[in-house]
Structure 1
Amino acid sequence: MTEAVDSPTVDGDLLTLQQAADRLKVHYMTAYRWVRKGELPAFKAGGRLRVRTADLERFVSDREVDVARPSAQGQGTDWPTHVDRLHALLLGGEGVEAGNLVRKVVSDGASAGDAYLRLLAPALHRIGEDWAAGRITVADEHRATEIVSAIMARLSEFFRRRGPTRGTAVTLTAPGDHHAVPARMVADFLRAGGFDVHHLGPDVPLEDLTLFLQVVPNDVVCVSMSTPDLDKETERNVVAACRAALPDALVVFGGRGHRPERARAAGAESVEDLAELTERLDALLESRTDDEPTFT
């Protein structure tokens, strides 16, 4: 049971749990879960949970991340020009200059998340289109991918997380899809959003995925699909492998190659906006919570 959003504070520096959740901009049950885990300090007074404003402010500070959403500074960046330049550098195999370009964009105020979503991903997508059109070889495409991977390795320090965890996630690339970079981006955004992440990458046999999930506790499995013409049973097969280990496993598909209707038909969820991923997962996880609080 929850309470009204506008219920008053107690003694000036205390909040109800609903008010704390409102300030955190999360569902009430998310805040309640953090309290149960001991991550958000709270105590019971007058039959209700109370949170000190100082504890809430400390909790917010500990959960600060740099890249959960595109930055305001990134709004003024000339992204099309930078994408054109990076695309040319990737085609030419100029890894040092490509790295310098991305580093300059970030130093000028764009976040690492901006660099992923507005620069690296579009440039690499163009490389894929070049290969599909026969303008470059597989070797050229692989070289460009390796350059982007090296740049991401240097940017990974920006995807840092402090404080309590939102949950545990497993990330991987769908079977038959050999594009490793998108799933790595998902893993970094989840880390930035407060998740502990086990990143498995591409080419994981489904039977091995089942064994892994039987051993490693997790809250959600995120599957990247970049190739649109994968086997039409891919989603069903992945979900079946996950639920062979965890009958109630939350499986989420995303990426340019995934089809939301097929994900839903397989009993999975679909997320299309990487910048909104953690908030979407919060909502999905809370909708599956079985334990209701007995007091607020």
Structure 2
Amino acid sequence: MSSTHTLQEAADELGVHYMTAYRYVRLGQLEAVKVGGTWQVADRAISEFRNGSAAGPVARGKPAPWAARLEDRLVDGDAQGAWGVIEAAMTSGADVRSVYLDMLSPAMVHIGARWAAGEFDIAIEHQATGIAMRIVGRLGSQCVRRGRSLGGIVLGAPAGESHGLPAAMLGDLMRLHGWDVTDLGANTPTKSFVHAVRRAPELKAVGLSVTNSAHLDEVENCCRKIKDAQSHVLVVVGGSGVGDVSVEDLGADARATSADQFHELLLAH
């Protein structure tokens, strides 16, 4: 029968200092659960940690499960630990693009699915989103590409859409490609989109992030008003809320299911 150990006992078993073992837990490298305010580590977790590597927590020849580690920290509301996972991944070679596409996005999608399945309260999802936005804020300064701009892009979520994280990550990824990005964030009224479109220099496209199909009427209104204001501008919709609705019915020019596809649409326009 499997037994459990305190974190100090686990540290002794692993031959490391208590704070080193604690750091492994915070980075999601050593599985542990908190019981009554005390970390408990199972025999199995200690064994798996040892078998992963003779000198560290990542198994030789196997990619580290960074997204799962990050998700654990986000669900626990552990902002410092979440950033520690990001730092550990980047130290291991991950760049900002990989952090967004292979870690942060999958973690948040899975958290949303777990909330939808009733696994935890919406407060957990909101807390995780807040931490994720802080991570994006810290990484944004690295999303700069030197050289001539490819043109301007306006991004945002239309009225009723409360999720600004997808557009924020997309904006940084587009900046890495060399685009000038104006991110209007979540719940942006149509008139504000039109205002931004008229002001943006060398505007190439507008991207609307849609996570809830209940707001498709507002999405359509926004797309059509943008086209009325600047008919030459490419209007692209994306996100799980679009579903199987045709882009023509929404008044848009195209749909993008990934940052790379969005970039390709911009280049082809």
- TM-score normalised to structure 1 length: 0.65
1:105 and 2:89 correspond? yes
Gaps of 5+ in 2: 1-60
1:184 and 2:168 correspond? yes
Structure 1 CA distance for aligned equivalents of residues 62 and 231 of structure 2? 46
1:123 to 98, 107, 110: 107
1:275 and 2:269 correspond? no
1:280 Cα deviation from its structure 2 partner: 2.6
**Are the structure 2 counterparts of residues 160 and 253 from structure 1 closer, same or farther at C-alpha, using a change threshold of 3 Å?**
same
Deviations 1:21-48 (A, max 9, x none): xxxxxxxxxxxxxxxxxxxxxxxxxxxx
Q: 1:59 maps to what in 2?
A: none
1:222 to 207, 230, 233: 207
Structure 2 CA distance for aligned equivalents of residues 267 and 232 of structure 1? 12
Percent identity at matched positions?
29
Structure 1 CA distance for aligned equivalents of residues 197 and 239 of structure 2? 22
Q: Which has the higher contact order (CA 8 A, sep 6+)?
A: 1
Structure 2 CA distance for aligned equivalents of residues 157 and 115 of structure 1? 14
Q: 1:168 maps to what in 2?
A: 152
**CA contact under 8 A between 1:161 and 1:193: conserved in structure 2?**
yes
1:262 to 210, 235, 246: 246
Structure 2 CA distance for aligned equivalents of residues 120 and 110 of structure 1? 12
**CA contact under 8 A between 2:150 and 2:179: conserved in structure 1?**
yes
Structure 2 CA distance for aligned equivalents of residues 147 and 211 of structure 1? 30
Structure 2 CA distance for aligned equivalents of residues 85 and 273 of structure 1? 23
Amino acid at match of 1:215: R
Deviations 1:204-253 (A, max 9, x none): 111222223223331110111122x2234344212112123212321011
Gaps of 5+ in 1: 1-75, 286-296
**CA contact under 8 A between 1:210 and 1:244: conserved in structure 2?**
no
1:245 to 226, 229, 239: 229
**CA contact under 8 A between 2:152 and 2:181: conserved in structure 1?**
yes
Q: 1:27 maps to what in 2?
A: none
Counterparts of 1:19-168 in structure 2 under 5 Å? 78=63, 81-168=65-152
**Are the structure 2 counterparts of residues 273 and 144 from structure 1 closer, same or farther at C-alpha, using a change threshold of 3 Å?**
same
- TM-score normalised to structure 2 length: 0.71
SS in 2 for 1:198: strand
Structure 1 CA distance for aligned equivalents of residues 252 and 137 of structure 2? 34
Q: 2:23 maps to what in 1?
A: none
**Are the structure 2 counterparts of residues 129 and 262 from structure 1 closer, same or farther at C-alpha, using a change threshold of 3 Å?**
same
RMSD across aligned C-alpha pairs, in angstroms?
Answer: 1.9
